[in-house]
Structure 1
Amino acid sequence: MEQDSSRENPSREGASWPGDPPSSTLGQALSQVLHRLTSEESRRGKARSAAIQDLDALIEAAECDQLFEGSDTSLRGMPEMLGQVAKALGKYAAPPKEQEGRARGYSEVAEKGAAVGVLFLKLMGKIEAAKNSLLCPTWKIGLRPLAGPIYIFAVTHSLEQPWTSPRSRDVAGEVLALLLRVTQCGSVAGFLHGENEDEKGRFTLIMELLKPDLNKESWKNNPATKHVFSWTLQQVTRPWLNQHLERILPPSLLISDDYQTENKILGVHCLHHIVLNVPAADLLQYNRAQVLYHALFNHLYTPEYNLIQAVLLCLLDLFPILEKGLHWKGGAARPSTHCDEVLRLILTHMEPEHRLLLRRTYARNLPAFVKRLGILTVRHLKRLERVIISYLEVYDGPEEEARLKILETLKLLMQYAWPRISCRLVVLLKALLKLICDVARDPNLTPEPVKNALLEEATDCLILLDHCSQGQVKDLLAKILQSCEDSKVVNCIRKVQQVSEGASYDRN
């Protein structure tokens, strides 16, 4: 059978490198293997599996000096070819599109990942041996084009995902560990940003390799790409991350803007990492912080509680950046802030919400918003009052997370906005006493430690309410003691009276 023109010139099939292909026997053999891995014909049938076996034999038989032998031209050509082979191996072991993966399963991908991982271990083993023996000083040249593709492969298969298996994850973990050892890096972070200030690091290289698969048209072709990007991004922190902002912000926004909740959450986590690790001045430049805010704010209309949780945590860290330039000069009313806008929307959603997971998520984050606004919480006092009273009335499951967080919110609210609390004395007192009675009479639904926590928090709220109302609570509670027979309720009331009269309150 005659060879087609593409086989005679593998570079036309994507196996391109500077200059001519190496003329050595090993170089020609690698060129043929690369063609078989990348050509369209080899994607059908078992041609690529056979190419993997041939490559295994080539690596097994080759010495390091053979991998990098020849003239200066081939010294440039062989490492580049090895890099192209590594990229082809990564694509060979990459998971298919999600739709295809569901149809046929990912078991085949895990097997391919383990096989390719063994090849990379053998190849880097040759480089490590050359490094330790000092007989092949060109090992560094061979490592440069290999490090990026091998890193991406290792992260793709070391994370727990549908396309990995215990075996493939173990092999990929060994590949990553050996890569760090060969590159003399103590951690993945050091590998990416450099072990010291003088070392450049490989984060830019990794982002450039991922870039073709991180645009609007291609980022879903390989379901592993978003996870590799996210995991890699979160390894790099201050002060190294800000110099890569133009590379990391667009993909993060793209992933967070997807219709799938899983991708939205992944993208929000990437954005949160950027907010925490990029200086405020860089985020404020070119209005980036506002872009981030609007992208996050739009997610607050979703009914997905886990996405809401991720978004609220990110927004709470973004507020100080957005409000960095706002300074109240007195006189006129303070301007409304982004935090005001978000809290207003949260309270709007909280009032009619009946789904427990969402109620818990909103309640869990409410104290942080009150802390953030401080005295300015009075702008939202009426709606907060309605939310607090309605949430205290509803049983929230054995852990009672929502009611505990609402009590914490009420305590903060009374501390920050105490002058406005006395006019709400009757409403709040009724809600707290009803809660105490409900918890005290609960026969078995709530565990005792949770009951005790609820009673203690409610008692603290009564004490604060008494301070805000100049002792009116103590006088009103004195009448209840005469008719109440429940020991737990009586105990809470007596604690309030003791503290109001100046005695110490021992919560234990």
Structure 2
Amino acid sequence: MERHSLLDSLQLTLPEGQGAPEYPPVEQVLPQFLQLFASVGAQQASSKTKRGMVRDLFAILEAIDCQWLLRGWQENSTLVVLRDLVVALSTYAALPQREHDGAELPCKDPSYAAAASQAADVSLVFRSILAKVEAAKGSEELGCMVVGSFLRQVAGPMYIFAVTHAAEKPWNKPRTQSLAQDLLEDLLQVWGCQSVPEFLRGATEDEEGWFAVVMQSLKPELTKETWQRNPATKHVFSWTLQQVTRPWLGPHLEKVLPPSLLLSDDYRIENKILGVQCLHHIIRNVPGADLCQFNRAQVVHHALSNHLYSKEAQLMQVVLPCLLDLLPILERAPGRPSRQLPSAVPSDKVLRLVLTHMEPEHQLALRRVYAKNLPAFVERLGIHIARHLKRLQRVIVGYLEVYDGPEETARLAMLETLKRTIQNAWPRMTSRLTVLLQALLRLMWDTVTDRSSTPEPVTAALLQGATECLLLLDRCSHGQVKVLLQGVQHSCQDDRLKECLRKVEEEHVESFISTEPKREF
């Protein structure tokens, strides 16, 4: 074995008699390396010394075989030393700690560049170790059993290191990312799986993956006092969480719910969004019965409801769909009364608050987010949307009046909302016919006379949506729309508008009640 400056620095004792071995045993090299590595300070000169030690260690690992590295695995001594080595090198390449207030470091901070360079060197060391473990699977003396014993010691910290530096984040460089991605692939290959989700959850429902081990390794970094200090911790947690789906996520609910709530409760918008996305993934992939135990669903609902008062469109875009998936779980919770006053039903309370915020809202971005999610709320309440018709009508009419850009996102969504409202609460529409008819005709006139940059497909979609609403109103009012539209078509000069009105006038009057199931109010 070629001599390296690192070996000369270590106080190695070679056994006498029977000739000296070709190189010192691993039981001497790695522990003394760790002691020497820990004794070096954190100054710039010391950092250069550590970097040289890491590169020498890589050269040594490349020169030896798997027998030298893993021969003491059965006594667990070598594997414990390898675990300590992985932890020490991960700490060496860790990102700079932030202050308690979580202040962000600038993207071009020199400490990020140093961490990226150190992470590249450490990735090479880790890949070399994994290559030896992979080779050990074909060894008669070591066999495949060494893989499970090895991963039990290092899977958590090595996976966290790889995911931290494989992401496209400010603290990573292209070379660092590439090496970390290769490291993650090597880790999967050693375990014999095809993807990260399979590595975390296991190949089958009965097989235990490494998700619990990874979460346990992350746990010290995910407390209320520590999670903001490392900028990568939240990204590793959220990305890892979203790799595990139903039915594998349910048993780990206690590990993933508190950190998700911590993220959601932060004062920075990007952390709120990340936390809500984690909560949404949990809601979708954990059985409702588990969420309802110990009032977990109520806690999540309270956390999400607080975000409804936000004026950030990006946050609202993830909060509303999350609430929509949580509401059915809340309303099916054991022990909840089957009949409640409208003011006590979670779906009614949320919609009432959403409509209250929608009506005076003037930010176009936020109006679009509200409008896009409103049809789902109407479907969620079904016939009970009749409880909110007065305020819902004001919101629909108000939003149909306002042009919101070439894509007309809010108006198209409001037409869909009106359509679903008519289908669900059709017996209550006759008394609101005049107001809705005026709003739809005004929208159609504004659309055909629009001289802005609205694309033709958007114009056609607006006219089609308004025509469908007129047809539904005509059916549920037993032809009253035709009566109110008499003479309008003859005075209209635009061919597209005349064609839409012609479709309504030529529609055969059918009993809307006969085509719909009987509904009680």
Q: Give the TM-score normalised by structure 1.
A: 0.89
Deviation at 1:334, TM superposition (A): 6.0
Partner of residue 19, structure 1: none
Instruction: Report how many aligned residue pairs link the two structures.
Output: 478
Deviation at 1:59, TM superposition (A): 1.3
Provide closer, same or farther for how the CA distance between residues 61 and 69 of structure 1 changes in structure 2, counting only shifts above 3 A: same
1:244 aligned residue (231, 249, 252)? 252
Partner of residue 176, structure 1: 184
Larger mean Cα displacement after TM superposition, 429-438 or 472-481 = 472-481
Map of 1:322-341 to 2, 5 A cutoff?
322-325=330-333, 326=336, 328=338, 336-341=344-349
Partner of residue 348, structure 1: 356
Map of 1:279-318 to 2, 5 A cutoff?
279-318=287-326
Partner of residue 139, structure 1: 146
1:396 matched to 2:404? The reply is: yes
Deviation per CA, 1:424-476: give whole Å up to 9, x if none.
11111111000000000012421000000000000001111112222111112
Deviation at 1:132, TM superposition (A): 2.7
Deviation at 1:320, TM superposition (A): 1.0
1:99 aligned residue (101, 104, 121)? 104
For residues 95 and 119 of structure 2, the distance between their equivalents in structure 1, rounded to whole angstroms, comes to 9
For residues 160 and 310 of structure 2, the distance between their equivalents in structure 1, rounded to whole angstroms, comes to 33
1:376 aligned residue (374, 384, 393)? 384
2:64 aligned residue (57, 62, 65)? 62
1:461 matched to 2:469? The reply is: yes
Deviation at 1:43, TM superposition (A): 5.5
Provide closer, same or farther for how the CA distance between residues 70 and 168 of structure 1 changes in structure 2, counting only shifts above 3 A: closer
Larger mean Cα displacement after TM superposition, 308-317 or 432-441 = 308-317
AA paired with 2:475? H
Map of 1:26-65 to 2, 5 A cutoff?
26-39=26-39, 41-42=41-42, 44-45=44-45, 46-65=48-67
**1:463 and 1:496 in contact (8 A); partners too:** yes
**1:94 and 1:224 in contact (8 A); partners too:** no
Note the aligned Cα RMSD (angstroms). Answer: 2.2
For residues 318 and 105 of structure 2, the distance between their equivalents in structure 1, rounded to whole angstroms, comes to 29
Q: Give the TM-score normalised by structure 2.
A: 0.87
Deviation at 1:232, TM superposition (A): 1.1
Deviation at 1:379, TM superposition (A): 1.3
Provide closer, same or farther for how the CA distance between residues 345 and 125 of structure 1 changes in structure 2, counting only shifts above 3 A: same
1:119 matched to 2:112? The reply is: no
Partner of residue 170, structure 2: 162
**2:222 and 2:259 in contact (8 A); partners too:** yes
Deviation at 1:94, TM superposition (A): 2.3
Larger mean Cα displacement after TM superposition, 350-359 or 194-203 = 194-203
1:209 matched to 2:217? The reply is: yes
Deviation at 1:300, TM superposition (A): 1.0
AA paired with 1:30? L
For residues 43 and 228 of structure 2, the distance between their equivalents in structure 1, rounded to whole angstroms, comes to 20
**2:79 and 2:153 in contact (8 A); partners too:** yes
For residues 68 and 235 of structure 2, the distance between their equivalents in structure 1, rounded to whole angstroms, comes to 36
Larger mean Cα displacement after TM superposition, 48-57 or 195-204 = 195-204
AA paired with 1:69? R
Deviation per CA, 1:251-293: give whole Å up to 9, x if none.
1111111111111111111111111111111111101000010
Provide closer, same or farther for how the CA distance between residues 494 and 70 of structure 1 changes in structure 2, counting only shifts above 3 A: closer
**2:73 and 2:79 in contact (8 A); partners too:** no
List alignment gaps of at least 5 residues for structure 2. Answer: 1-9, 12-23, 511-521
Provide closer, same or farther for how the CA distance between residues 374 and 154 of structure 1 changes in structure 2, counting only shifts above 3 A: same
Deviation per CA, 1:354-409: give whole Å up to 9, x if none.
11110000000000000000111111111111110110011111111110000000
AA paired with 2:458? V
Deviation per CA, 1:290-333: give whole Å up to 9, x if none.
0010011101111111111111111111111100045646xx86
Deviation at 1:111, TM superposition (A): 2.2
Larger mean Cα displacement after TM superposition, 414-423 or 130-139 = 130-139
